[in-house]
């Protein structure tokens, strides 16, 4: 890919995540994204991304790839020290995502887009290739290791519940902070970690 092509692709990704966060994934067209990115050729989005799902996945990968790389490195370090504490693993999951709120290059937009995809029927987060990369699979595997007594048929629902609680809580915290909510980042992060640890550690109850 030429430098000019790479720059155009990045501009389109930045424009897409801004518009997706503002208006919703389903409501934004390729034409709007091209215009937002300053592209006179409205076919530019389709040229770089075959369809909207591929575009959304590229938005996710742009932000999640560095996080997943850090997860793999930290998990390798924890394994070398024979450390597998649930609180530590959940903290590893939560902290870099909360830190995206301070990323000036679309970090908050990324989080808001993921929160949308949690409940999306058109582009569900579980069907995005970016969520099946080695980093997240390794971390989820470690988390599930603490749920050995949990019924296997309920596991997908519980993990989706954890995902929803994670991203929607961060999105809600951002929204309420914009409205003047006075809760420190540290207090929010600690409470979110504690909530997810409780959710992962809670046994299923029979009806």
Kindly list the distances between the CA atom of residue 118 and the CA atoms of 33, 84, 104, in Å, as whole numbers in the listed order.
22, 28, 23
Instruction: Please give the mean pLDDT across all residues of the chain.
Output: 94
User: What whole-number distance in Å separates Cα of residue 107 and Cα of residue 100?
Assistant: 5
Q: Roughly what angle, to the nearest 10 degrees, separates helices 52-80 and 3-23?
A: 100
| CATH among 1.10.490, 1.10.8, 1.10.3470, 1.10.10 for 1-49 | 1.10.10
Residue 205: pLDDT over 70: no
Could you read off the pLDDT of 158-187 as tens digits, one per residue? 999 999 999 999 999 999 999 998 899 999
Indicate whether 130 pLDDT > 90. Answer: yes
pLDDT greater than 90 at residue 46: yes
Is residue 204 scored above 80 in pLDDT? Answer: no
In the chain, the percentage of residues whose pLDDT exceeds 70 is: 98
Instruction: Give the pLDDT band (50/70/90) at residue 47.
Output: very high
Predicted model pTM? 0.93
Q: Is the dihedral of CA 103, 109, 114, 116 positive or negative?
A: positive
Tell whether the model's pLDDT for residue 29 goes beyond 90: yes
Q: Can you give the pLDDT at residue 195?
A: 97
- Residue ranges per domain, the chain? 1-49, 56-201
Q: Is 33 exposed, middle or buried (0-12, 13-18, 19+ CB in 10 A)?
A: buried
Residue predicted with more confidence, 84 or 206: 84
More confident site: 100 or 206: 100
Q: What is the pLDDT of residues 53-77, one digit of tens each?
A: 999 999 999 999 999 999 999 999 9
Confidence at residue 41, expressed as pLDDT on a 0 to 100 scale:
87
Residue 112: per-residue pLDDT? 98
pLDDT number for residue 3: 87
Residue 4 — very low, low, confident or very high, per pLDDT cuts 50/70/90? Answer: confident
Handedness of CA 115, 121, 125, 128 (dihedral sign): negative
């Amino acid at each position: 890919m030429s430098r000019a092509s790479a720059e155009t692709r990045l501009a389109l990704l930045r424009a897409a995540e801004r518009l997706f966060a503002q208006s919703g994934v389903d409501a934004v067209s390729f034409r709007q994204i091209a215009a937002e990115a300053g592209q006179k050729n409205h076919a530019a989005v389709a040229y770089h991304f075959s369809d909207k799902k591929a575009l959304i996945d590229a938005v996710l990968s742009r932000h999640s790839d560095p996080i997943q790389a850090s997860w793999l490195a930290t998990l390798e370090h924890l394994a070398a020290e024979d450390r597998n504490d649930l609180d530590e693993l959940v903290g590893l999951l939560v902290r870099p995502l909360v830190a995206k709120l301070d990323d000036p290059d679309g970090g908050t937009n990324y989080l808001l887009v993921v929160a949308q995809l949690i409940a999306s029927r058109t582009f569900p987060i579980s069907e995005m290739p970016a969520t099946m990369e080695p980093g997240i699979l390794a971390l989820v595997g470690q988390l599930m290791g603490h749920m050995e007594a949990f019924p296997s048929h309920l596991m997908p629902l519980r993990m989706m519940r954890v995902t929803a609680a994670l991203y929607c809580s961060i999105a809600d915290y951002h929204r309420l902070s914009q409205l003047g909510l006075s809760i420190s980042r540290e207090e929010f992060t600690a409470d979110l970690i504690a909530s997810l640890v409780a959710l992962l550690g809670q046994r299923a109850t029979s009806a």
